[in-house]
Chain A
Amino acid sequence: MRRGGDGSAGGLRGPYAAFWSVAALAALFLALPVGAVAVRAFVGEGGAGLGAFAEAFRGGALPRALLNSALAAGLAAAIAAPAGFALAWAVRCSGLPRWARAAISGLTLLPMLLPTITYGFAIVYAFGRQGVVTSLLEAQPFPIYGLGGLTLGYVIYTLPTAFLLTRNALDYVDRRFGTVARLMGDTPWRAFVQATLRPMAGPIAAAFVQSFFLAFTDFGVPASVGGSFKTVAGLLYDRMLGSLPDFGVGSVIALAMLLPSVAAFFLLRWLGRAQTRYERPADDLPPPRNLPRDALAALLGLCSCLLTATVFCTVLIVPFVEAWPYATAPTLAHVRAVLGDPGLMAVCRNSLVAALGTAALCTLTAYAAALVTVRSELPAWCKDAVSAAATLSGCVPGMVLGLAFMLVFSGTPLGHSLLLIVCCNTFHFLNAPYLMMKGALEKLNARWETTGRLMGDAWAGTVLRVVTPNARRALLAVFGYCFVNAMVTVSAVIFVAGARTAVATSKIKELQFFGRFDDIFVLSLLILLVNLAATALLRLADRKAQP
């Protein structure tokens, strides 16, 4: 028998199995590829050295791109974080009717269900010189290429995340603070500041950092509206692939891109720790009647819905007319063409399979990782290793991971397989599902494993029979998160997908090259429909899982 340090040796077999599974997967699909990129930065065709660094920094393009990215991402985050909070407030703290709050939530979250690369095209088709909105207004509302379009695209991209983060945090702010403040004679504004804004400062800051990170590493938006405003993601793409690919320089840019991401990540962790914790979730008492407040909430919601609606109406209009903007007669020809094209339908099937696979593997991995860190008595180094892997996955931009996969896995039996796409997506997304799982598992009774063990269960037995059924809502939420993200992700997958394993988003990138925008919008619509269906199904399942 194995003698553990603390008499619980017998109970560690299961946790070790979970740990080594996660560790093995993370070593193969995260540490190895990222390490390969780092090596490329120092070792080129001409041997080891700093040549790639000198080349990357020549002419100041890289520092300028870093600054550009930081500026656009910062601007977008500065808009998305407070806007997200305002919408969260409208949904959670106002007396708006249920349907109105559901509509605001739904439309604000809608962009999450579409690939970012589509937002860019949607912006061009909405606000471009020949855009839907431009032709309605008979004037272009603002310049869409460069900083303006980029910021708008990033705001649309990050607003749902900022909204979700602040909305979830609002649920844990004790409403009684507001009551107390009002009873002590505070004005409504002061009461709002004291009881809502103050405790939400941390989550709003976290939403800012998270939005910044998302925008900074995004590739889809600048690919369509970046114009001459070069971002790091764009630079990485040009140098790594471009007309004269240079992996050494590309790797240096990838590393440069990693740095702000790491900084953002740790800032986020620090903010999470500094945040006030409220033990009990807020009660569900309806807020007192207040007409001006509700009018303001309605106005905010209307603005958000209008923004989403104007940008995304193009996705709904363009594929259904002959040739925007010249022939605007309605037609189903494009839809029929896509549905009738066996190549494109195969791509949709691949997307679906890859998304389901990703959802399964990523959920399992995140669950195993979270079990190791919060529900096992493994030594600290195991828990640290697991959270380090999750952290790294949160810091590596998708493009970098995808490139790394291409460098490491082509030529292996895994090369170009859907399984490789699934593994790549899993470690691209892992961080958020891990944190979601960890949060959920921490809330469950800490004594279950001990109780089960005293009744003769092995650790895995209690996990299967007790912990898992009680974590099923979180598991469903994580599954949905991974599925939707796998359906819309483009950054990593364009490098991993093969001829037979192209997915809808990699196809969109390819169609962009050939300028086939009607097909792009039809595919985007299909992705949207699949995601809506998946979300609805998971909602139903969640309702069933509710006690």
Chain B
Amino acid sequence: MLEVRNVSKAFGGKTILRDLSLGIGTGEIVSVLGPSGSGKTTLLNLILGLTRPDSGRILYDGEDLTDVPAERRRFNIVFQDYALFPNLDARANILYGLRNHPGASSAAEVDALVDLLGLREHLGKRIDQLSGGQRQRVALARTLVLKPRVLLLDEPLSALDGVIKESIKARIRQIAREFRLTTLIVTHDPEEALTLADRVLVLEGGGIAQYARPAELIGRPANGFVKAFILRQLEIKRENILALFQAARA
């Protein structure tokens, strides 16, 4: 269980997060949704340990991690641009963290992970020879070999083509289930957030607008912001798609 308790953070006098509290169950997938400037990235950095909160605590299974540096929290992230190391091939990227944590995964576990992510035939390739989806999976594998307790994904789908998006979504869900991995996904796309996550955290102006299951969010939006920001977008999308199918049928 990951807990964020009464966390506030300001940069240069500007409040980014205000007295924010939430809890995420182990193995749960939570997506964080909000317009730019709503504090998504800051929340991510706070949980990771890259930024310290001005006040409030961050706990994992009751252990206070607020003063534990990022590298010792055993949390990890896949950045939007993957931050792969282009001087190393796919295999070396995946195995990179094992140099510092030799016992984190056994060779068999790494093999299994490589197969799970369908990377077997790409292991010897340079990063610039990989497609966007393949890079995404290499970055995921690189993180997963270290068996993080919490996995953060920053805009994991934004750089991918439509067809690949759906398969990656499925893969993320599969991994979270298989490893019972607490997963936090930051996105700006409501469709992505609602179809991928067990629960959705909607941020607005440094506070929580709503934190609920997708169905609940659709059925009972907590306020006008959630309605305008999320439901409206989804409705337009649905109408467009329905119109397309009806036109095709006619």
Contacts and interface: CB of A to CB of B under 8 A. Distances in A.
> Are both chains from one complex?
yes
A469 interface: yes
Contacts of A4: 52
B101 A447 contact: no
Contacts of A455: 76, 96-97, 100-101, 142, 146
Contacts, number: 74
Contact of A7 (B51, B100, B142, B146): B51
Interface string A428-458: 0000000000000000010110111111110
Contact of A466 (B49, B70, B87, B146): B87
A10 B83 contact: no
A11 B49 CA distance: 12
Contacts of B83: 445, 447-448, 450-451
B126 interface: yes
A457 B100 contact: yes
Interface in A1-36: 3-11
Nearest to A471: B87
Contact of B87 (A11, A451, A469): A469
A536 to B, nearest CB: 25
A302 B241 CA distance: 63
B216 interface: no
A200 to B, nearest CB: 30
A547 interface: yes
Contacts of B85: 448, 465-466, 470
Interface string B91-119: 00000110111000000000000000000
A473 to B, nearest CB: 11
B64 interface: no
B211 interface: no
A547 B71 contact: no
A7, A452, A461: residue with the most chain B Cβ atoms closer than 10 Å: A7
A547 B128 contact: yes
B81 interface: yes
A256 to B, nearest CB: 41
Contacts of A547: 86, 126, 128
Contacts of A6: 51-52
B87 A7 contact: no
A10 B51 contact: no
Contacts of A466: 85, 87-88
B141 interface: no
B180 to A, nearest CB: 20
B69 interface: yes
Q: Which 6 A-B pairs have the closest CB atoms?
A: A456-B100, A7-B52, A455-B97, A447-B83, A469-B87, A10-B69
24 contacts: A5-B52, A6-B52, A7-B51, A7-B69, A10-B69, A11-B70, A11-B71, A445-B81, A445-B83, A447-B83, A448-B85, A450-B70, A451-B83, A453-B70, A453-B71, A454-B76, A455-B96, A455-B142, A455-B146, A457-B71, A461-B100, A465-B96, A466-B87, A547-B86
Interface of A: 3-11, 445, 447-448, 450-457, 461, 465-466, 469-470, 547
